[in-house]
Amino acid sequence: MTPPRKTPLAMQDDVMAPITPQLPVLAFDRADLSGGACFERWRDILSIVFDVELAHRDDANGFTGSMRTYHLGGLLLSDTAGSGVRFHRGGATIARGAIEHYLVQVYLEGGYAGTVGGQEVTMRTGDVCVLDMTQPLSTRASDFRNLTIVVPRESLAPLVKAPDALHGLILPGESAMGSLLADHLRTLHDQIPAMTAREAQAVAGGTAGLVAACLGPALDARERAVADLHAATLARIKRFIDERLETPDLDSDAIGRHFGLSRSSLYRLFEPLGGVAAHVRGRRLARALADLVAPRAGRTRVIDVALHWGFGSEASFSRAFRAAYGLSPSEARDTADAMRRLLAPKDAGAADRVLRHWMGSLNPVEPAGPA
């Protein structure tokens, strides 16, 4: 006799409750709350990803919103709907979440327009877009419903030529690649309730590979200058930099000597990323942010973090940090401390806490190979 499967838990009214015998589900339904209370709860759940405002202040009473997110082990898949709102992701939002995933979305209803990574974009029903959570955006959405997969950077970036150029990329719904990827997300969403955790993990790897394959031609057309770079060399150099961020003398000369490249050749490789020094500084700031959000032994003070990551003084570190994230190192640390207090055990079942934990728990996946 086959033993019954254990039943994962799902969110209902901020309480974990059985909802499917297959995968963990985080659910917030339109019927749970209404009007302003619904908007506030919906906004709070999404706060790790976006700052959200009503399109018009007097729209609060008529707001409806819902979200249902499945954890596939290596991916999250979310079905989200809401009334017209503004989405914003700036330096403070990026610092607050401190996550580097990609969002790949298909809009089943509605769309948005705005600025994504400095570009004016328009998203229509049926289109597929990619958002890089390390970069800013400011958009305004009409009443909408979308399907979103959250893909770890480590899973997608190695599969495409120019991972830093993905932000704001849109595949039109009528294009071959856009239609293929949109259909995959819809089918995945429809089949998830019947999947086991093992099946979902396998599908996650295949999904990352399919996303990369569909985005590749669009990236080639959009960023020919980036596509002309020697992608393998650039990837090797970036890995080299990440492994040596704590080295004080990590500069263009040291990198060029290690790879046998001239200063001009190295500059051409990193020009789309703002230059070698800017890339190294950005990666060090990202590591410093992680230390401020989750302090490590020996790095509890701002000056300790600054010196550890190669900044000559607390003042120079604070200037660079504020320029990158829009707030001071102390403010970032205090915000993280406040969030930890807010998410104390008394709120252990809150949907926003669960989503925040899930965002940090994704495992990089390998593309699925032949059966």
Whole-number pLDDT of residue 223: 56
> 246 and 125 share a domain?
no
Asked whether the beta carbons of 170 and 127 are under 8 A apart, the reply is yes
- Asked if the structure places residue 343 within a domain, the reply is no
Q: Residue 61 pLDDT > 80, yes or no? A: yes
Whether 346 maps to a domain, the answer reads no
Q: Is residue 366 part of a domain?
A: no
Shared domain for 134 and 194, answered yes or no, is: yes
| Residue 233 and residue 171 in one domain | no
Total domains in the chain come to 2
Do 169 and 43 sit in the same domain of this protein?
A: yes
* 21 and 165 part of one domain: yes
Least confident of 178-187, 277-286, 295-304: 295-304
Average pLDDT of the segment spanning 322-329: 90
Tokens of 365: 């996946």
> Is pLDDT at 174 greater than 60 in this prediction?
yes
- Does 118 share its domain with 219? yes
Q: Are residues 27 and 129 located together in one domain of the fold? A: yes
Mean pLDDT, rounded, for 285-305: 84
**Residues in CB range of 336: below 8 A, 6 or more apart:** 96, 292, 293, 294
Range with the poorest average pLDDT among 82-91, 181-190, 244-253, 328-337: 328-337
Residues forming a β-bridge with 76:
71, 150
Residues 273 and 180 in one domain: no
| 131 shares a domain with 56 | yes
- Same structural domain, 205 and 311: no
2 confidence band (pLDDT: 50, 70, 90): very low
Question: What's the rounded mean pLDDT across residues 67-72?
Answer: 92
pTM of the predicted model over 0.75 = no
Residue 15 domain boundaries: 9-223
Q: What is the CATH number of the domain that holds 252?
A: 1.10.10.60
pLDDT in tens, 231-243: 778 888 999 999 9
What mean pLDDT is reported for the chain? Answer: 83
Three-state SS for the chain is CCCCCCCCEEEECCEEEECCCCCCEEEECCCCCCHHHHHHHHHHHHHHCCEEEECCHHHHHHCCEEEEEEECCCCEEEEEEECCEEEEECHHHHHHHCCCCEEEEEEEECCEEEEECCEEEEECCCCEEEEECCCCEEEEECCEEEEEEEECHHHHHHHCCCHHHCCCCEECCCCHHHHHHHHHHHHHHHHHHHCCHHHHHHHHHHHHHHHHHHHHHHHHHHCHHHHCCCHHHHHHHHHHHHHCCCCCCCCHHHHHHHHCCCHHHHHHHHHHHCCHHHHHHHHHHHHHHHHHHCCECCECCHHHHHHHCCCCCHHHHHHHHHHHHCCCHHHHHHHHHHHHHHCCHHHCCCHHHHHHHHHHHCCCCCCCCCC
